[in-house]
Amino acid sequence: MDLFGSFALILAFICAVYAFIGGIFAIRTRHPLLVKSTRQAGIATCMLIFVGTFSLEYLFFNDDFSSAYVVAHSNRDLAPFYKVAALWSGQEGSLLFWSFLLAIYVFSTLMVYRNKNGELMPYVGVVLAGVQIFFLTLNNFVASPFKALATPAAHGAMNLVTRADGNGLNGLLQYPEMVIHPPNLYAGYTGFTIPFAFALGALLARYPGEKWIHLTRRWTMIAWGFQSCGILLGAHWAYAVLGWGGYWAWDPVENASLLPWLTGTAFLHSVMMQEKRGMMKVWNVWLVFITFLLCITGTFLTRSGIVASVHAFAQSSIGNWFLGFIVVILLVCLVAYFKNRDYLASENQLDAMVSRESSFLFNNLILLVSCIAVLSGTLFPVFSEWLSSSRISVGAPFFNKVNIPIGLLLLFLTGVGPLLAWRKTSAESLRRNFAWPLAIGLTGGVVAFALGYRQFYSLVCFTLCAFVAATIISEFYRGAKVIRARSGASFLASGIDLTMRNTRRYGGYIVHMGMVLIFVGLAGVAFNKDVQKDMQPGSTMQIGSYTLLLQSMDSKPEKNYTAERMNVEVLRNNKQLMMLYPERRIFKTDQPSGTMVAIYSTLKEDLYVVYAGQSPETQMPVIHAYLNPLVKWIWFGGAVVVLGTLVALLPNRKAVLVLSAVRETAPQALPGQTLVQPFQPKPAMREGHD
Amino acid sequence: MQKRAKFGVGIAVIVVSLVFLAWLGYGESKTYYHTIAELPNLHGAAATHRMRVGGTVEPGTIRRFSGRVDFVLAGEGKTLPVSYTGSDPLPDTFVDKSQALVEGNLAPDGRFVAERVQAKCASKYEAAPGGTTAPAAAPAGTVQKSGM
């Protein structure tokens, strides 16, 4: 099966090369047969990558310990669930997994548009094939996952060997989230390839209008949704498994996942400027280019160990390939841009400081500044080594100092932006739209202060959260009221009806609401407490209003590990509340042990109890307990963000009504829209939903 | 033109204040990275700032005392005696021959006083470049204690 798999990958490489070169000729000659055959080659590439990936999984499920990759990442007793995850637990497998997910996207794109956009698709196909060639080169010639185990024999020959069992999967990865987090994040990283291919393709083809933006909107949102989900799942994994009481450490790998998310978010907003006003064309094209470059950079940072090398850990030669690829993409983008930049001329100019446009402009500006800050902080050790001889790294204070104000500014714009009119907003409409939300926001701040949340940034954050939530709810309320007046349905039904009529707009608001909830959770971090104590059975410790009593310790053998468990009774105000069981897992295979944190989570706070190991002084077991306020809001907000993204991906119900020939309803303005756009659409305005 | 100037001022104010904050954060959190071989050649301010040093734990040198753990780090053929004085238990991956990263200051007697120790068990990582770190996750085996 390993030969079969590597053969499939080689064939995939050949097909991709054909799709690339043939595609270029197809663009030049416009020969219909050539166009068709290169598209088929693109589809074949994807199919072959699927075959290659499934062959590797087959090796895992058959416990084929003649394969080096399987030996390194699996063992017989590993649960099937984790045998799936073992695929992406190492270098070679993750790179194959990148190709696999990209192949799913490419396959879908080529199938969906096989009879559409005939002028544009050959260009898109060439770009996609180019990206696939790079990853298939790595899969085939640099980091093949199908290497067999062998020992050197006489005369330079090699003897193949088969082991009885494998080394097992890294214990830290044997956790359910570790099975779903990497696919989500990788689906985000790979997903941005599609908008990139369309943007570059449209630029090269000088494809008229904003069609590429309409075409890629859904793809961008899918990638963005996966990326958001992946980042939050990773944060939750770090929180629940690594046992240091936090969820975000500004670790280079975490930062790498945040970078394309920041520019992707900027892009999702700035496309509206192009759709509505024909502005920011250059900016949008470059945002897509940069987002894709950051996806590759993110993979590069994760895979090459260039930053981790500063931490004296293993370095990889694969970095040079990525660096080369990044340079090539950058050159291609630059050349494409300078040859076709006249095609990107803006049709309008900014009219006023207080307008929807300017809110988008500032949104983009600070997202980009945040991105630059995070990128430079992450790469600081590398840059400082180039510029001076010393390697300097920066830590959490650097990232927090810049990103907390940026986050709050963004939160403010989230509340303000949607209520501002395009072009220019009058003082009168400002008063009408903002009086109530402002009052509610200030009340929220006062309530937070009264509840004891007294820290400057946190108070600002709570105030803004209440303000933004109020603006979002008022938007739904006003829209629903109009529908309710006409249909007589309940507020809830009217609200759903409203959302379904303009999924993009109201789905977007739901995403904003999710972000508000996440910010509430983030603001809680200023009030975290932790206590660490050497314990023995019978001893107690105090944190906040909780008392922890270590009743006993036991050891429980499981199939793949032994769990050393603490039985901790939790009391609040001297009343018995519950039992918590923090544990350490000692794996049977040669893997580092894992921590299982016990968390008692409420909306108010998380009681987070870690069995932290043996004290260096007394050799007694140590409990490290944390009291983290409001953390649950982050995970809940994440779920709301995903829900909003899904809503925004749905087609508008209005479009269905038009098709079913109920013509009268079509031309009417959407409820709520008249309030924020008190003028008739002028020729300067375009189609599209805000 | 006046509109443009207004936008320019707005943008400049935001960017300048963020750069200022970044500069503050940089001063607060910068940590120098040195190899063991470089340490004897550091003089003046360079020898006193907060730094990180990486190396391999010499087998048999880990000694546990009350309130501190002593061990010897080796790298590039040189060795460095380290005293860990932090309160957190040492990571499970901290054993003989593991790769460790210590953060702290150099004492005048040439001993390194570490407040943080991160460790990776060498045997878990392939001899070939690459390693088996989790994709898109914190490097396995290290435990980050900084952050939000």
- The pLDDT value given to residue B1: 55
- The pLDDT value given to residue B145: 34
Which A positions 551-590 lie with beta carbon below 8 A of chain B? 584, 590
- Gap between the Cα atoms of A522 and A457, Å rounded: 11
- Gap between the Cα atoms of B94 and A517, Å rounded: 39
Band of pLDDT at residue A308, cut at 50, 70 and 90: low
Rounded average pLDDT over A481-494: 88
- Gap between the Cα atoms of A116 and A376, Å rounded: 42
For A292-321, give the DSSP string.
Answer: HHHHHHHHHHHHH-TTGGGGT----THHHH
Q: Which residue has the higher pLDDT, B41 or A182?
A: A182
CA angle A133, A134, A140 (to 5 degrees): 80
Q: Beta partners for A562?
A: A557, A586
Region of poorest pLDDT, from A204-213, A498-507, A629-638: A204-213
Band of pLDDT at residue A306, cut at 50, 70 and 90: low
Q: What is the mean pLDDT of chain A?
A: 85
- The pLDDT value given to residue B121: 55
- Gap between the Cα atoms of A376 and A250, Å rounded: 12
Which B positions 32-61 lie with beta carbon below 8 A of chain A? 32-34, 46, 52, 54-55
- Gap between the Cα atoms of A569 and A551, Å rounded: 7
Q: Where are the domains of chain A?
A: 1-151+164-174, 189-311+320-421, 426-501+651-676, 527-633
Helix (H/G/I), strand (E/B), else coil: A237: helix
Rounded average pLDDT over A6-22: 96
- The pLDDT value given to residue A338: 92
Residues 6+ apart with CB under 8 A from A370: A262, A402, A403, A406, A407
Task: Please report, rounded to a whole number, the percentage of residues in chain A having pLDDT higher than 70.
Answer: 92
- The pLDDT value given to residue A590: 62
- Gap between the Cα atoms of A300 and A294, Å rounded: 9
Helix (H/G/I), strand (E/B), else coil: A543: strand
Q: Which residue of B lies nearest to A620 if distances are taken between CA atoms? A: B89
Rounded average pLDDT over A51-76: 91
With beta carbons less than 8 A apart as the criterion, state whether A647 and A507 touch.
Answer: yes
Band of pLDDT at residue B65, cut at 50, 70 and 90: confident
- The pLDDT value given to residue A689: 44
Instruction: Answer yes or no: is pLDDT of B80 > 60.
Output: yes
Rounded average pLDDT over A614-624: 78
With beta carbons less than 8 A apart as the criterion, state whether A357 and A350 touch.
Answer: yes
Q: Which residue has the higher pLDDT, A370 or A170?
A: A370
**How many angstroms away from the CA of B116 is the closest CA of chain A?**
13
Which B positions 9-28 lie with beta carbon below 8 A of chain A? 10-11, 14-15, 17-18, 21-22, 24-26, 28
- Gap between the Cα atoms of A121 and A123, Å rounded: 5
- The pLDDT value given to residue B39: 80
Region of poorest pLDDT, from A48-57, A417-426, A573-582: A417-426
Q: Which residue of B lies nearest to A242 if distances are taken between CA atoms? A: B143
Band of pLDDT at residue A154, cut at 50, 70 and 90: confident
The closest of A202, A201, A203 to A339, measured between CA atoms, is A203
- Gap between the Cα atoms of A384 and B25, Å rounded: 16
Region of poorest pLDDT, from A331-335, A465-469, B93-97: B93-97
Instruction: Answer yes or no: is pLDDT of A518 > 70.
Output: yes
Rounded average pLDDT over B72-77: 84
Q: Count the Cβ atoms, other than its own, within 10 Å of residue B45.
A: 7
Q: Which residue has the higher pLDDT, B144 or A204?
A: A204
Per-position b or e across A555-574, b if 16+ CB within 10 A of its CB: eeeeebbbbbbbbbbbbeee
Q: At what angle do helices A503-523 and A631-649 cross, to 10 degrees?
A: 170
For A378-401, give the DSSP string.
Answer: HSHHHHHHHHSSSEEE--HHHHHH
Q: What is the CATH number of domain B31-123?
A: 2.40.50.140
Instruction: Answer yes or no: is pLDDT of A43 > 90.
Output: yes
Please write the tens of the pLDDT for every residue from A353-369. 778 888 888 899 999 99
Q: What are phi and psi of A41, to 5 degrees?
A: -65, -40
| For testing contact with chain A, the best of B13, B30, B84, B118 (most A CBs within 10 A) | B30
Rounded average pLDDT over A41-59: 96
Region of poorest pLDDT, from A307-321, A519-533, A656-670: A656-670
Distances, alpha carbon B6 to alpha carbons A62, A270, B13, in Å: 67, 20, 11
Beta pairing class for A605-614 and A150-152: unpaired
Rounded average pLDDT over A202-224: 88
Please write the tens of the pLDDT for every residue from A221-276. 999 999 999 999 989 988 887 777 889 888 888 899 999 999 999 999 998 888 88
Q: Which residue has the higher pLDDT, A252 or B2?
A: A252
Whether B126 sits inside 8 A of A314 (CB atoms) is yes
- The pLDDT value given to residue A639: 95
Beta pairing class for B112-120 and B78-84: parallel
Range with the largest mean pLDDT of A81-90, A552-561, B111-120, B138-147: A81-90
With beta carbons less than 8 A apart as the criterion, state whether A37 and A23 touch.
Answer: no
- The pLDDT value given to residue A279: 81
- The pLDDT value given to residue A677: 39
Q: Which residue of A lies nearest to B124 if distances are taken between CA atoms? A: A591
**How many angstroms away from the CA of A450 is the closest CA of chain B?**
24
B90 touches chain A (CB under 8 A): yes
Instruction: Answer yes or no: is pLDDT of A333 > 50.
Output: yes
Q: Count the Cβ atoms, other than its own, within 10 Å of residue B51.
A: 24
Instruction: Answer yes or no: is pLDDT of B138 > 60.
Output: no
Please write the tens of the pLDDT for every residue from B34-64. 888 888 777 777 777 888 888 888 888 888 7
Residues 6+ apart with CB under 8 A from A223: A187, A188, A190, A191, A192, A194, A195, A264
Whether A249 sits inside 8 A of B17 (CB atoms) is no
- Gap between the Cα atoms of A44 and A475, Å rounded: 48
Instruction: Answer yes or no: is pLDDT of A656 > 50.
Output: no
With beta carbons less than 8 A apart as the criterion, state whether A299 and A309 touch.
Answer: no
With beta carbons less than 8 A apart as the criterion, state whether B56 and B73 touch.
Answer: yes
Q: HEC profile for B98-116?
A: CEEEEEEEECCCCCEEEEE
Q: What secondary structure letter does DSSP report for A148?
A: B
Whether A315 sits inside 8 A of B101 (CB atoms) is no
Which A positions 288-327 lie with beta carbon below 8 A of chain B? 298, 302-303, 305, 308, 310-318
Rounded average pLDDT over A656-667: 40
- Gap between the Cα atoms of A628 and A604, Å rounded: 9
- Gap between the Cα atoms of A254 and A275, Å rounded: 33
What is the torsion angle, in degrees rounded to the nearest 10, for the CA atoms of residue A318, residue A324, residue A325 and residue A331?
A: 170
Helix (H/G/I), strand (E/B), else coil: B144: coil
- Gap between the Cα atoms of B81 and B57, Å rounded: 10
Q: What are phi and psi of B75, to 5 degrees?
A: -170, 140
- Gap between the Cα atoms of A418 and A425, Å rounded: 12
The amino acid present at A329, given as its one-letter code, is I
Model pTM score: 0.86
Please write the tens of the pLDDT for every residue from A340-356. 888 887 777 777 777 88
With beta carbons less than 8 A apart as the criterion, state whether A160 and A149 touch.
Answer: yes
With beta carbons less than 8 A apart as the criterion, state whether B99 and B120 touch.
Answer: yes
- The pLDDT value given to residue A654: 58
CA angle B91, B92, B94 (to 5 degrees): 70
Instruction: Answer yes or no: is pLDDT of A550 > 70.
Output: yes
| For testing contact with chain B, the best of A402, A587, A619 (most B CBs within 10 A) | A402
Instruction: Answer yes or no: is pLDDT of A548 > 70.
Output: yes
